[in-house]
Amino acid sequence: MITVHNLTAGYGKLEILQDLSLSFGAEQFSAVLGPNGSGKSTLMKAIMGINTIFGGSVQLAGRELIGMPTEAIAGLGIAYVPQRENIFDELTVLENLQLGMRSLSPERRVAALKELLELFPILGRRRGQRAGLLSGGEHQMLAIAIAWLSRPQLMLLDEPSAGLAPAVALEVFGVLQELGQQGITLIVVEQNARRILQYCDQAFVLREGQLAFQGTAAECLGDEETIKWYLGVH
Amino acid sequence: MPPALLTTSLVNSIQIGSLYALMALGITLTFSVMKLPNFAHADYFTAGAYAALIVSLSGAQNPIAIMSAAFLVGALTALLSHLAVFKPLESREVSLYTLILASFAVGLIIRYILFTMADYFNLFDLRIGIPLQVLYREGFLILSNIFAWVVPTTIALVILLTLLLNATPLGREMRALANNINLARVIGIPVERVKNSTWLLVGGLAGVAGALWSLQTAVNPLMGWAAIISVFAAAILGGLSSFSGTIIGAYVVAFSENTVILFLNYSFGLDLAYKPAIPFIIIIAVLLIRPGGFTQLLKRGGKLQR
């Protein structure tokens, strides 16, 4: 679905990803893992056209994304949930949701809102509240909901469990699993490797901007060297 | 202070405060959405005033037609300044200081285009041809047809602007840009289109303010520049982020310039020549004591408030 070929990307003049090539399958739940500074978030931003691309290509079903504005990439059915500042905290929860589904027809909006209230019941109860006042878990649910409401075929999530209590993080992973079951392709950057590997199909481990491991979640958990040296879990 | 003078100065405060509010709301909106304290705003106002004057001189006496022309010219001037100057500079990721300097330059360019035009067509210090009429007189209180145009128009435009920002998809997108422009891009909001709409809106509001101003005073190419410090004082009083704070700020500045200065003159002999210092004193005092202005006082905080 998404093919990254010889991608070199970073920020300003700094190159973080070095000649990276990998491919994410359609309708798969993929985890991108690796130590801090390995280029996980840089990869997400490169796909969305947010940072500096020095070379290479990123293709969605054969269509080149490099050079496209971020708004146009979002219009292709790719939704991105950044790690920080991923909601409009000065707007109400309902206004955030309305912005999320702005590209849907009025009929599809009604259906999407109904479905949303089943998937994220807490957001229905908080709809009139200013989004900046939500708890950590609710905040993250809202960020995922905004992305999901655009009815994407692919969702990129950058550390969706960061800063959350373990029980809340499990709730977030449960929601992601449900989104995966809806047929949405998921690419999730995560620090907590052992936890995400229980949910995902594929794992990609980055080290210093290059691919260090690629395989199924089970293969990753079984690869002692990767687990020990690159993921920091034992 | 004689009651007649007090009443007249209060009426003036409301009238001038309304005009300051229309201009200052545009400055607040530009700062919130575009992150730019735009000094060229003064000259969108003057361009609007000249549009109103030219339409009036061409024979039109209908205030709606005059104000529509002013809105259109102010809006297009603002959009053009964005497309020709601010947008290319933003794409080069220049600093805020460069953008502020550029806004002074844009203002100068517009101003001297207006000077050239005024010189060529002999349009200096002319007034819009709507005659002054007294509509209401009760004791010392005298209300003219100009007051009847300025104040209700301001109230109507503030209501319309509030509705646009809070009850329409475009307004929601403007507030989203003001809050988090990167996220707005990521979720597919057409950021450039929303910015263009914002420029049209702020320029149009400044243009209408210019037209209303030219109902009460002669039009000249420096009229916007003469008012800009008072208008910035109003916007700074509103914390450059709050609409309600900006409106209160506009009336406070106008009240200080019209009523307080007269009171100080009568009570303490303060020379009226100090009037132009008032907005500067307000700006310095706000920045020193309460940089968030009325927004802080209202405890609303945040980016773009109602």
Tell me which range, B218-222, B266-270, B283-287, is most confidently predicted by mean pLDDT: B218-222
Query: Which is more confidently placed, B145 or B302?
Result: B145
CB pairs under 8 A between A and B: 68
Interfacial residues of A (vs B; Cβ cutoff 8 Å): 48, 50, 69-71, 74-75, 79-80, 82, 85-91, 95, 98-100, 102-103, 132, 146-147, 150
In chain B, what residues touch A90 (CB-CB under 8 Å)? 175, 178-179, 302-305
Residue A30 sits at φ, ψ, to 5 deg, of -110, 140
In chain B, the residue whose alpha carbon lies closest to the alpha carbon of A72 is B188
Which pLDDT value is given to residue A233? 55
Query: Which is more confidently placed, A75 or B299?
Result: A75
Residue B305 has pLDDT above 70, yes or no: no
d(CA A188, CA A193): 11
Tokens 């070199």 label which residue? Answer: A8
In chain B, what residues touch A85 (CB-CB under 8 Å)? 180, 182-183
Query: Which is more confidently placed, B96 or B61?
Result: B96
**What ranges do the domains of chain B cover?**
12-222
**Closest CB to B304 among A86, A90, A132:** A90
Report the predicted TM-score, pTM, of the whole model to 2 decimal places: 0.89
Which pLDDT value is given to residue B301? 39
A80·B186 Cβ contact <8 A: yes
d(CA B76, CA B87): 15
Tokens 């978030």 label which residue? Answer: A41
Q: Which two structure tokens, joined as six digits, stand for A175?
A: 């929601």
- Which region among A14-28, B181-195, B278-292 has the lowest average model confidence (pLDDT)? B278-292
In chain B, what residues touch A89 (CB-CB under 8 Å)? 179-180
Instruction: Tell which residue, A116, A183, A115, A109, has the closest CA to residue A144.
Output: A116
d(CA A1, CA A14): 28
Contacts of B236 (CB under 8 A, 6+ apart): B249, B282, B283, B286, B287, B293
Q: Is A202 helix (H, G, I), strand (E, B) or coil?
A: strand
**Predicted confidence band at B50 (pLDDT cuts at 50, 70, 90)?**
very high
Distance from CA of B303 to the nearest CA of A (A): 7
**Closest CB to A85 among B173, B175, B180:** B180
Q: Do the beta carbons of residue B209 and residue B45 sit within 8 Å? A: yes
d(CA A64, CA B85): 31
Q: How many CB atoms lie within 10 A of CB B140?
A: 14
DSSP bridge partners of A8: A55
Single-letter code of the amino acid located at A165: A
- Percentage, residues of chain B above pLDDT 90: 69
Q: Over chain B, what is the mean pLDDT?
A: 90
Which pLDDT value is given to residue B295? 65
B185·A70 Cβ contact <8 A: yes
A89·B175 Cβ contact <8 A: no
In chain A, what residues touch B304 (CB-CB under 8 Å)? 90
- Which region among A152-161, A189-198, B136-145 has the lowest average model confidence (pLDDT)? B136-145
- pLDDT 10s digits, A84-104: 999 999 999 999 999 999 988
A88·B180 Cβ contact <8 A: yes
In chain A, what residues touch B176 (CB-CB under 8 Å)? 88, 91, 99
B176·A71 Cβ contact <8 A: no
Distance from CA of A90 to the nearest CA of B (A): 6
What ipTM goes with this model? 0.90
In chain A, what residues touch B305 (CB-CB under 8 Å)? 90
**Predicted confidence band at B300 (pLDDT cuts at 50, 70, 90)?**
very low
In chain A, what residues touch B188 (CB-CB under 8 Å)? 71, 74-75, 102-103, 150
DSSP string, B205-251: HHHHHHHHHHHHS-B-TTHHHHHHHHHHHHHHHTTTTBHHHHHHHHH
**Predicted confidence band at A224 (pLDDT cuts at 50, 70, 90)?**
confident
Q: Is B71 helix (H, G, I), strand (E, B) or coil?
A: helix
B180·A74 Cβ contact <8 A: no
**Predicted confidence band at A192 (pLDDT cuts at 50, 70, 90)?**
confident
Range B278-286, long-range pairs (CB < 8 A, 24+ positions): B278/B230, B278/B233, B278/B253, B279/B229, B279/B230, B279/B232, B279/B233, B279/B253, B280/B229, B280/B233, B282/B233, B282/B236, B282/B237, B282/B252, B282/B253, B282/B256, B283/B229, B283/B232, B283/B233, B283/B236, B286/B233, B286/B236, B286/B237
Greatest Cα pair distance in chain B: 61
Domains in chain A: ranges and CATH: 2-231 (3.40.50.300)
- pLDDT 10s digits, B188-209: 999 999 999 999 999 999 999 9
Which pLDDT value is given to residue B302? 40
